[in-house]
Structure 1
Amino acid sequence: MKRYYSRREPNWTSWCRYRHHQVLPGIEQWLRDRGSLTARLKSASRGDFRVNVLRQEWACPLDSERRLLGMRRGGIAILREVELLCGGVPWVFARTLIPVRSLQGPARRLALLGERPLGEVLFADPSMRRGITQMARLLPRHALFAAATVHLQQVEEIWGRRTLFHLAGKPLLVNEIFLPDIPTSQS
């Protein structure tokens, strides 16, 4: 698998900073949805859904991820990158960062998800709180673009969102990058 080395990041910002016409047609509904993406993908694919784990390892977050998580420079987190496949086709690239301090108590199970969707765990836990959500347009110069599109060809831009969740009061960051094959009609 091709690794990416760029540390360049897109301009993550709140939804109100984007104008409707800037967002690719049909992607807005995915970016703004506040429910479980896992549940929505399962519904849109009529249950033909699975998680393909690309990697899970200890790593240093990107600078903006580290700041959002309240981590010190040089701090490490579990980095989990997966493709969410519907009908065998990747619709979403997801990158989750779980700081060491968040892997205490019941949240320890997050390190052992395997091919289980993170969304199932988060949205089933009554202690889960959804924090800030930011959107971004990702371009080829961005690290997350390279990671998300490593198996795709001829992609000029993609859109994503990232959400800071708290599970039992502990932070984790979930980046969801919407790939070109995701349906853009109402689902």
Structure 2
Amino acid sequence: MNDMAASADSLSLPPAVPAAAMWLPASALNCYVGDAAMRDWLLTPGLLTQRIREAAGDGFAMHYLREGLLHGEHVREIDMCCDDVVWMFAHTRIPTSTLAAHPWLGQIGGRTLGEALAGRESVQREDFRYAQLYPESWLAERVLHHARLPRQPLWVRHSAFKIGASPFDLYEAFLPAIGRRGSADT
């Protein structure tokens, strides 16, 4: 587990997605996502982890990248890869008030958030929202740098969760190679 407060990040945590981002419901993706394979991945119901594991087979790897308190939020990041190519990057933000009420959220460790939430009846998730991130956005810069990809737009799926009245957010960035085993397409 990395201490994010000691990292070289800026002094304030910017929004993961710019306020001006155009959030789309699932029903609008046919109009905006021309790549049918990417659209299919974005619309994955249930646990994305399970689908990635199945598609990647023995090439699957999940990397627990960083976790810690940063400017009033508990931030956790993982990636999921196939044959060392990043397919998906997940960025979770948990307000300290939510973490205080539900400390187990800070103890997920090497499991995925979906696995940690499975079977917890008190967890509610709003419908997925989708946006295309441009390379200059904070999250896209992080993801592209981590995946060693050139600047390009990325699709992100947002999940807003609540446990009772305690909110937290998950942003999943889908990389161009997702589902294309043996391909590091850019």
Any idea what the Cα deviations from partners look like across 1:125-157, whole Å, max 9, x if unmatched? 222221142111111111111011113232421
- Could you tell me which runs of 5 or more consecutive residues in structure 2 were left unpaired when the two chains were aligned: 1-6, 182-186
Residues 75, 94 of structure 2: 8 Å contact kept = yes
Q: 1:4-153 alignment to 2 at 5 Å?
A: 9=18, 11-15=21-25, 18=28, 20-25=30-35, 26-46=37-57, 48-60=59-71, 76-104=72-100, 107-150=102-145, 151-153=147-149
Higher RCO (C-alpha 8 Å, min separation 6):
1
- Could you tell me which runs of 5 or more consecutive residues in structure 1 were left unpaired when the two chains were aligned: 61-75
Structure 1 residues 28 and 19: alpha-carbon distance in aligned structure 2, compared to 1, 3 A threshold:
closer
Q: TM-score, normalised by structure 1?
A: 0.76
Residues 25, 130 of structure 2: 8 Å contact kept = yes
Alpha-carbon distance in 2 for matches of 1:39, 1:128: 19
1:173 counterpart = 2:169 = yes
Alpha-carbon distance in 2 for matches of 1:114, 1:58: 14
Any idea what the Cα deviations from partners look like across 1:139-181, whole Å, max 9, x if unmatched? 1111111011113232421111111122355221000000121
Residues 26, 129 of structure 2: 8 Å contact kept = no
Structure 1 residues 24 and 184: alpha-carbon distance in aligned structure 2, compared to 1, 3 A threshold:
farther
Moved over 3 A (4+): 1-8, 16-19, 47-50
Any idea what the Cα deviations from partners look like across 1:103-127, whole Å, max 9, x if unmatched? 245x312212222111111123222
Q: TM-score, normalised by structure 2?
A: 0.76
Structure 1 residues 58 and 18: alpha-carbon distance in aligned structure 2, compared to 1, 3 A threshold:
same
Any idea what the Cα deviations from partners look like across 1:25-78, whole Å, max 9, x if unmatched? 121112222311112212222264332122212124xxxxxxxxxxxxxxx110
Q: Percent identity among equivalent residues? A: 26
Specify the alignment match of 1:183 in structure 2. 179
RMSD, matched Cα: 2.8
